[in-house]
Amino acid sequence: MKPSYASHAPPSNSSAAVAMHPPPPAAAGAVVEAPGFPQPYYLHPHSHHHHHQQPHPAHPPAPPVVYSKPEQQRIKTLFVSGLPDDVKPREIHNLFRRRPGFDSCQLEYTGRGDQVVAFATFFNHQSAIAAMSSLDGVVFDPEIGATLHIELARSNSRKRSRGVGAYTVIDKRVKVTNDDQELFSDDDGGSDEPSGTDNDNPSNKDALAAVKSEGTIVIPDGADGTFNDHTDIPPCSTLFIANLGPTCTEEELKQVLSKYSGFHMLKMRGRGGMPVAFADFTDTESSTAAMNGLQGILLESSDRGGVHVEYARSKMRKS
DNA sequence: AGCACA
Asked whether residue A79 is domain-assigned, the answer is yes
- Is the alpha carbon torsion for A99, A200, A176, A190 positive or negative? negative
pLDDT higher at A57 or A250: A250
Q: Are A37 and A3 a contacting pair, CB within 8 Å?
A: no
Asked whether residue A77 falls in the same domain as residue A213, the answer is yes
A313 CA → B5 C1’, Å: 13
A95 CA → B6 C1’, Å: 40
User: How does pLDDT run across A4-23, given as a tens digit for each residue?
Assistant: 333 333 333 333 333 334 43
In degrees, to the nearest 5, what angle opens at C-alpha A25 toward C-alphas A21 and A29?
140
Q: Mean pLDDT, to the nearest integer, of A283-298?
A: 92
pLDDT higher at A245 or A47: A245
The neighbouring-strand residues paired with A209 are none
Asked whether residue A206 falls in the same domain as residue A262, the answer is no
Asked whether residue A29 is domain-assigned, the answer is no
Q: Which residue is nearest to nucleotide B6 (CA to C1')?
A: A317
Determine the Cα–Cα distance for residues A311 and A141; give it in Å rounded to an integer.
33
User: How does pLDDT run across A164-200, given as a tens digit for each residue?
Assistant: 566 899 999 986 555 444 444 444 433 444 544 444 4
User: How does pLDDT run across A196-220, given as a tens digit for each residue?
Assistant: 444 444 443 333 333 333 344 433 3
Can you list the alpha helix ranges (DSSP code H) found in A55-143? 89-96, 125-135
Asked whether residue A19 is domain-assigned, the answer is no
Q: Are A208 and A184 a contacting pair, CB within 8 Å?
A: yes
Determine the Cα–Cα distance for residues A231 and A123; give it in Å rounded to an integer.
14
What is the distance of C-alpha A131 from the center of its chain? 5
Beta-strand runs (E) in chain A: 31-33, 40-42, 77-81, 102-109, 116-122, 139-141, 146-147, 149-152, 165-171, 215-220, 238-242, 263-269, 276-281, 308-311
Asked whether residue A115 falls in the same domain as residue A189, the answer is yes
3-class DSSP assignment, residue A4: coil
Tell whether the model's pLDDT for residue A51 goes beyond 70: no
The residues close to strand B, meaning Cβ under 7 A, are A 233, 238, 240, 242-243, 267, 269, 274, 276, 278, 280, 304, 308, 310-317
Domain range for A247 is 238-311
Given A220, A255, A281, the domain boundary residue is A220
Asked whether residue A268 falls in the same domain as residue A195, the answer is no
Asked whether residue A233 is domain-assigned, the answer is no
Tell whether the model's pLDDT for residue A80 goes beyond 90: yes
User: How does pLDDT run across A98-117, given as a tens digit for each residue?
Assistant: 888 899 999 999 999 999 99
Of A275, A166, A292, A277, the residue nearest A235 (C-alpha): A292
Asked whether residue A173 falls in the same domain as residue A245, the answer is no
Asked whether residue A89 falls in the same domain as residue A152, the answer is yes
Nucleotide nearest to A100 (CA to C1'): B1
Tell whether the model's pLDDT for residue A256 goes beyond 90: yes
Asked whether residue A244 falls in the same domain as residue A296, the answer is yes
Q: Are A99 and A128 a contacting pair, CB within 8 Å?
A: no
Asked whether residue A299 falls in the same domain as residue A270, the answer is yes
Determine the Cα–Cα distance for residues A195 and A190; give it in Å rounded to an integer.
10
CA atoms within 13 A on the CB side of A176: 18
Of A40, A13, A16, A41, the residue nearest A27 (C-alpha): A16
Structure confidence at residue A160 (pLDDT): 61
pLDDT band, residue A305 (cuts 50/70/90): confident
Asked whether residue A249 falls in the same domain as residue A161, the answer is no
pLDDT higher at A86 or A18: A86
Asked whether residue A268 is domain-assigned, the answer is yes
- Is the alpha carbon torsion for A64, A243, A245, A51 positive or negative? negative
Nucleotide nearest to A244 (CA to C1'): B2
Asked whether residue A115 falls in the same domain as residue A245, the answer is no
The neighbouring-strand residues paired with A268 are A277
Asked whether residue A203 falls in the same domain as residue A246, the answer is no
Q: Which residue is nearest to nucleotide B4 (CA to C1')?
A: A269
Q: Which residue is nearest to nucleotide B2 (CA to C1')?
A: A242
Nucleotide nearest to A312 (CA to C1'): B3
Cβ–Cβ contacts within 10 Å for residue A63, how many?
Answer: 12
Given A165, A188, A220, the domain boundary residue is A220
Asked whether residue A30 is domain-assigned, the answer is no
Asked whether residue A96 falls in the same domain as residue A181, the answer is yes
Nucleotide nearest to A238 (CA to C1'): B3
Structural domain tally of chain A?
2
- Is the alpha carbon torsion for A269, A271, A274, A277 positive or negative? positive
CATH classification at residue A291: 3.30.70.330
Nucleotide nearest to A313 (CA to C1'): B3
Given A162, A193, A220, the domain boundary residue is A220
Asked whether residue A198 is domain-assigned, the answer is yes
Asked whether residue A7 is domain-assigned, the answer is no
